[in-house]
Amino acid sequence: MSYILYIHKDRCSNEVFYVGMGDRSRAYDEKNRSKEWKDKISECYFDVEIVAKNLTKELAFILEKSFIEMYGIENLINKTKGGVGALGYKHTKETRSKLANAQIGRKKSAEEIKKSINSRVELYSSNYRHIETGTIHKGLKNACVFYNINYRAEHQRIQRNSFNKSFELV
């Protein structure tokens, strides 16, 4: 697997607020982010800039650490100084306790299950229009395969009604 180094820029100020590394889909992922990151993009959306491609994991870690140092961790939303991935971040005991307690006895309601099923059915059976070309495709997954777009990232953009989504439900 090859890795990339990417930065996220505030679309309003064009300032870098996050440095990351991973596969291409990670750069566009909006769901698996910290509360601070999500708060930041709620004010003003973000742009992704791929800084380097086809990196080994080791080189990606080195570059990530260098870029975080260059921008200054105090100016970024990053939780660590880089070079170790998410493994470098340690939750506090209080946070670990809250996360564990939140899962105790948690069961999905019938409404949550139904919503989840309906959402998946819609993704596979509904028609989606490519915004730029106007072409209509049956199911989001098929549309993403046709245009070589990361399905998971596009699904998140549609869920959030993001500015840079490629498809819309017809």
15 neighbors 77 (Cβ within 8 angstroms): no
What would be the CATH architecture of the domain defined by 3-90? 3-Layer(aba) Sandwich (3.40)
- pLDDT class of 87 with cuts at 50, 70, 90: very low
Q: Please write the tens of the pLDDT for every residue from 104-158.
A: 877 777 777 766 666 666 656 788 999 889 999 988 888 888 888 888 888 888 8
Residue of 123, 130, 124 whose CA lies nearest to 156: 123
Sheet arrangement for strand 46-55: 16-22, 3-10, 46-55
Radius of gyration of the chain (CA): 18
Amino acid identity of residue 52, one-letter, is: A
Any residues with CB less than 8 A from the CB of 68 and at least 6 apart, and which? 19, 76, 78, 81, 82
Tokens representing 37 are 């990151």
Give the pLDDT score at 164.
77
Mean pLDDT lowest among 16-30, 38-52, 87-101 = 87-101
pLDDT at residue 104 in the model: 82
29-75 confidence digits (pLDDT tens): 888 898 899 988 888 889 999 999 999 988 999 999 999 999 999 99
Domain layout of the chain by residue ranges: 3-90, 110-169
With a cut of 70, say whether residue 2 has pLDDT above it.
yes
